[in-house]
Structure 1
Amino acid sequence: MASILNPYISFYGNARQAMEFYQEVFGGELTVNTYGEFGQQEAGGGADKIMHSMLTTTAGFTLMAADNPAGNEQKTGSNISVSVSGEDDGELRRYWEKLSSGGTVMVPLEKQMWGDIFGMCTDRFGITWLLNINQPRP
C-alpha cells in the first residue's frame, strides 16, 4: 500500500460538530473517540471532547480531527487549508455549495486563467477550502 497524506485539523471544543458537518458534505463513515473513552479528562473539563476522529469516504478522502487540549495555542484557519480537486463537476459543486454555505467566499467558484474551475472559501468552522474542477485540456 502506498503512503497517504491526510489533513488533521485541531478545533477548540467543536470538533464533533465540524466532523459531522464534513460527513454531511462528503458522506462516508465517521468514527469518533472522546477523551473520556480512554479514561482521560481533557484539561479544562470535557471527557466528551474529541480525542480523535476520522472521516473516511467512498471517494477516497480521509479527514482527521480532534479538540485541541486547553492551554495549547491555536490560530483557527491560519495553519491549514484543504484542497479538493477532480473531474466530477457535479460532485465538486455539491461540496462547494455545502462548504461555502454559512462561510466566506474568497474566490468564487468559476473558470480561472489556467482553464480550470476554481474557488476558495472559509467554512463556518474557520477552515479554508480550495476546490478545483479539472477541465479537459486541448
Structure 2
Amino acid sequence: MSIHLNPYLNFDGTTKEAVYFYEKALGGQVVGIMLFGDMPEDPEHPVTDDIKDRVMHAHLKVGDSDIMFSDTFPGMPYQAGGDAVQIALHPQEESRAKEIFSALEEGGQVLMPLQKTDWSPLYGIVRDKFGITFQINVPEKP
C-alpha cells in the first residue's frame, strides 16, 4: 500500500503572498493557483466581491513534495500559525539548509539557530512571517 501526505496551509487572505514566498524560499514551483472568482457562476452560491480574489486552492511543488494552500472566507474564524503542526525540511546540503533558513527567517523569528546537534550536522527551528514553524534538518551522512 502506498500513501502520500502533504501539508495544506490555510491563510486569511494572504495565500497568494505566501505561495510565492515559499516558492522562492524553498526553491519550489507553483503548479497552479485557482481563485474563488475563477469558479463558474452559480446563482445558488454567488461569489461576492470580497471573495473573488481569495485563493480557493493553490499547489506548490517542492522537490518530490507538495504543499497546498487556501484562503478562508472573510469572517471565518482563523488562527495564524501555532505549534500543533510544524513542517520539517531535510535538505541534503548544509549550504541549502542555510539558504532556506535565511529566507524563512526574513520577517519571522528564529526559535533555535542553525547548529550542530547529536543527530544532525545542521539543525534549526524558525517561525516565518506567516506564523508557520519550520524545522530545518540536514541528515547525517552515513
Q: TM-score, normalised by structure 2?
A: 0.85
1:49 is matched with: 54
Structure 1 gap segments, 5+ residues each:
none
2:79 is matched with: 75
**Structure 1 residues 90 and 115: alpha-carbon distance in aligned structure 2, compared to 1, 3 A threshold:** closer
Give 1:7's aligned amino acid.
P
1:123 aligns with 2:124: no
- Partner SS, residue 95 of structure 2: helix
Q: Which consecutive segments of 4 or more residues in structure 1 shift more than 3 A?
A: 113-116
Decide whether the 8 Å contact of 2:34 with 2:56 is kept in 1: yes
Percent identity over the alignment is 27
Per the TM alignment, residue 115 of structure 1 is displaced from its structure 2 partner at its CA by: 4.1
- Partner SS, residue 63 of structure 1: strand
**Could you report, residue by residue, the CA deviation over 1:64-119 in whole angstroms, capped at 9, with x for unpaired residues?**
11101223322211143211014222222211110112210000010123344211
- Between the aligned partners of 1:134 and 1:121, the Cα distance in structure 2 is 18
Decide whether the 8 Å contact of 1:9 with 1:80 is kept in 2: no
Q: Which range moves more in the overlay, 80-89 or 7-16?
A: 80-89
Give 1:26's aligned amino acid.
L
- Between the aligned partners of 1:3 and 1:18, the Cα distance in structure 2 is 26
2:114 to 109, 112, 120: 109
Decide whether the 8 Å contact of 2:121 with 2:138 is kept in 1: yes
- Partner SS, residue 32 of structure 1: strand
Mark the structure with the bigger radius of gyration: 2
2:35 is matched with: 34
Structure 2 gap segments, 5+ residues each:
none
2:7 is matched with: 7
- Partner SS, residue 51 of structure 2: coil
Give 2:24's aligned amino acid.
E
